[in-house]
Chains A and B, each alone.
Chain A
């Protein structure tokens, strides 16, 4: 069964060779002329002012990542269930519906609490 994945390894090698090769060729063939303007951060022409370490971010991005984690787990449970659904019958539908409902309740609560506002 592992031998199924060998062509993928081959594709990975070819793709990596293509990508890395392009970068290598470009660095060999392209000119190199650094000057202070090129080395500085881009701020639409101004002097770079903002320090990234001091930048504050909203917590909503972290919330999105956490919600993504939980719903990703739920989606991953849906796949083996979908494959064996025909053998499980209505019992399978009911137990997955319970699972989705429990998470759905939490999802509705979260939308109601404004956890997804200003996204």
Chain B
């Protein structure tokens, strides 16, 4: 086992342990942070396998944007943050399925690739990646732009459910004094508003 293999094992262990902590942690925010750590660990695995560009893209996009999106969503909603939340009843079944999947993957991958040292693995160069995306696989690349277009438009439509002004700060005190808002012609939206909207009475109609 070379030094390279040792680094690979360490990075893989860190990733696996933080992935397990994601699903077993009792605090929602901590689970999200462990997810960010897991994604960084995957970037480390890419790095060990010689794909420096993909590793950094993983950090920039997954850790820097996707995990941030998760954390923003957690922080901004009234999601139960804390120990009282989210205990699924299917833990045993989940564990069994995950274990079976792990055994299946191990049984497939280890005989196929086991025994090869990671030191000889070299990732693609950036030039190779660039030529592959923009010369060989141009059509999937353009279709990808359509996918991003759909995502962008979906994001806008999800966040604003009516024509007119977009959401502004919803002040707690105004919602408690519900009568003052009952007759506003346009309503101020905030994230997670379905329950308290009912408290405001019939004003505005939804």
Task: Report B-chain residues with C-beta under 8 Å of the C-beta of A77.
Answer: 133, 141
Closest chain A residue to B64, Cβ basis = A72
Of the 9-residue stretches A19-27, A40-48, A81-89, which lies at the interface with chain B? A81-89
Bound form: Cα–Cα A79–B160 in Å: 33
B126 touches A68 (CB 8 A): no
B73 touches A62 (CB 8 A): yes
The contact of B149 among A55, A106, A114, by CB within 8 Å, is A106
Is the CB of A13 closer than 8 A to any CB of chain B? no
Bound form: Cα–Cα A92–B84 in Å: 54
Q: Contacts A5-B47, A61-B72 given: A109-B134 contact, CB under 8 Å?
A: no
Of the 9-residue stretches B19-27, B49-57, B96-104, B109-117, which lies at the interface with chain A? B49-57
Q: Contacts A61-B72, A84-B131, A106-B149 given: A1-B50 contact, CB under 8 Å?
A: yes
8 cross-chain pairs, A with B, having the tightest CB-CB distances, nearest first: A84-B130, A80-B130, A106-B152, A69-B65, A102-B145, A57-B76, A56-B170, A66-B155
Q: Could you give 26 example pairs across A and B, Cβ below 8 Å?
A: A2-B7, A4-B52, A5-B52, A56-B175, A56-B190, A56-B191, A57-B77, A59-B76, A60-B167, A65-B68, A66-B155, A68-B68, A69-B66, A70-B155, A72-B60, A83-B127, A84-B126, A87-B127, A95-B141, A95-B142, A99-B141, A102-B142, A102-B145, A107-B152, A113-B160, A115-B159
